[in-house]
Chains A and B, each alone.
Chain A
């Protein structure tokens, strides 16, 4: 579903992705972790073309990114992206947020889009917030709207860029619960997160990155119990100390 083959990327002189080779199968959930600045966000931002790769090949849903024949807007419609800062449209209600792209990108009739939008918002526990504006929602509620906004596009892939990092602690689990639900329905997911509980529960693989390279890959059980490299051990000891 997602295949990186020898991908490199530079920001000026900074080598942010080093020779990345990684393949994600349909229905697989992959958690990406690593220290700040290790390139995890850049890695998943490349998948929907928010960042361009400089070298190597990246094939998503059978289409090679950067090819002239690849229809990027069409491909992006198939990929949901959840941001750390939610990025809801502040001038739109929750329901308008989740129906905007289905109506204008998918060309679904408004009534139909609104029906499935209501259903999706109810599913993430926001049945009473259809007409509420983002500014009036808590962080956890905003992030759940953002996830519903992606799901309303019926995507093939969902990408999450530190979805709980901007949340107050008491709101993290309501968002993770929704993400677990999405994973259990068989969505192909890549999730940048340090939430170990989430990784243990639904991820098939954990990818550990440092300094732009993939240092270690393994099942959550292997990775958390028995990290193979010094760098992953050092990282885990820092995040698990408390």
Chain B
């Protein structure tokens, strides 16, 4: 079976995959940073008591989570120009990923904050801290710890979702696989290489999570009644 598999062609196309790898890596990083910003903002809005900010955030989160990323991407890529807004495809791609992932991240952060017990809020209130001091000194440091694993999961999803950007001709990893597949009619070689590169990114992210957990000094938090 492997006699038909051309390692030589893969080697020949390695520079293309290298470029795709770098592109996927940096556009994922930029998108994830954007998603964190969008998610934090949405979460802050969603935690307000006033419906003026809460309701738009809720509707946005529902709308994003209810619709496919591909539809969102196509809306931005094909729809916006019809409305007079023309953006470069790379920018559209990053925007779509950030807006999409931001909705999920908002819920991850919210769950992290709500997982902190009522007693922690009351103890900090009773000591005379202001809302921002409570958040900064007591709630968020604890919430960050419980949020890291699901955020990492979301980052991995985002990296894989970035494959959709190949459909709007962004030269990333999946696009590299497609090019090899169509230039040389070698889909097996093309997509196995693409997959291997994603696996590499996955392990990079995983070790990053371990490092950040160590850096944040995560200790087992056990609360006695």
**Chain B binder among A31-39, A61-69, A100-108, A194-202:** A100-108
Tell whether, in the assembled complex, residue A135 and residue B126 are in contact, meaning their CB atoms are under 8 Å apart.
Answer: no
Residue in B128, B137, B142 whose beta carbon sits within 8 Å of that of A73 in the complex: B128
* A83 in contact with B133 (CB, 8 Å): no
**Are the C-beta atoms of B221 and A77 separated by less than 8 Å?**
no
- Partner of B119 from A74, A75, A83, A133 at Cβ < 8 Å: A83
Q: Is the CB of A89 within 8 A of B120?
A: yes
Complex contact B224–A91 (CB within 8 A): no
A50 and B221 contact, CB distance less than 8 A:
no
Q: Give the residues from 63 to 92 in chain A that come closer than 8 angstroms, CB to CB, to chain B.
A: 73-81, 83, 85-91
Determine the chain B residues whose CB is within 8 A of the CB of A75 once the complex forms: 128
B225 in contact with A74 (CB, 8 Å): no
Give the complex CA separation of A126 and B45 in angstroms: 42
Contact among B117, B128, B141, B145 with A105 in the assembled complex (CB-CB below 8 Å): B128
Task: Name the distance in Å between B186's Cβ and chain A's nearest Cβ.
Answer: 53
* A193 is an interface residue with CB less than 8 A from chain B: no
Chain B residues with Cβ under 8 A from A80's Cβ? 126
A79 to B126, CA, bound (A): 8
Evaluate contact between B126 and A105: CB separation under 8 angstroms. Answer: no
Q: Are A50 and B220 in contact (CB under 8 A)?
A: no
Least Cβ–Cβ distance between B155 and chain A, in angstroms: 23
Instruction: Enumerate chain A residues within 8 angstroms of B123, measured Cβ to Cβ.
Output: 81, 83, 87-89
Give the one of B126, B129, B142, B222 with max A CB within 10 A.
B126
Cα of A75 to Cα of B125 in the assembled complex, Å: 11
A201 vs B10: C-alpha distance in the bound complex, in angstroms? 85
Cα-based distance from A80 to B127 in the complex (angstroms): 7
Is there a chain A Cβ closer than 8 Å to B50's Cβ? Answer: no
CB distance from B133 to the nearest CB of A (A): 6
CB-CB under 8 A from A104, the residues of chain B are 129, 133, 137
By a CB distance below 8 angstroms, the chain B residues around A89 are 120, 123-124, 138, 142
The distance from the CB of A80 to the nearest CB of chain B, in whole angstroms, is: 8
Contacts of B183 on A, CB cut-off 8 Å?
Answer: none
| Chain A: minimal CB distance from B13 (Å) | 49
Which of B126, B138, B223 has a CB less than 8 Å from the CB of A76? B126
Q: How far is the CB of A161 from chain B (nearest CB, A)?
A: 10
Q: How far is the CA of A144 from the CA of B8 in the complex (A)?
A: 71
- Kindly name the residue among B123, B142, B222 whose own CB sees the greatest number of chain A CB atoms within 10 A: B123
Identify 10 residue pairs between A and B in the complex whose beta-carbon atoms are under 8 Å apart, listed by A's number. Answer: A50-B125, A50-B126, A76-B126, A85-B225, A87-B122, A89-B142, A90-B223, A100-B138, A135-B223, A142-B224
- Additional A-B contacts beyond A76-B128, A135-B222 (6; CB < 8 A): A90-B223, A91-B141, A91-B221, A100-B127, A142-B224, A166-B225
Interface residues of B (CB under 8 A from A): 117, 119-120, 122-130, 133, 137-138, 141-142, 145, 219-225
- Tell me the A residues contacting B by CB distance below 8 Å: 48, 50, 73-81, 83, 85-91, 100-101, 104-105, 133-135, 139, 142, 149-150, 153, 166
Among all A-B residue pairs, the 7 with the closest Cβ atoms: A77-B128, A87-B123, A87-B119, A101-B127, A81-B126, A135-B222, A76-B128
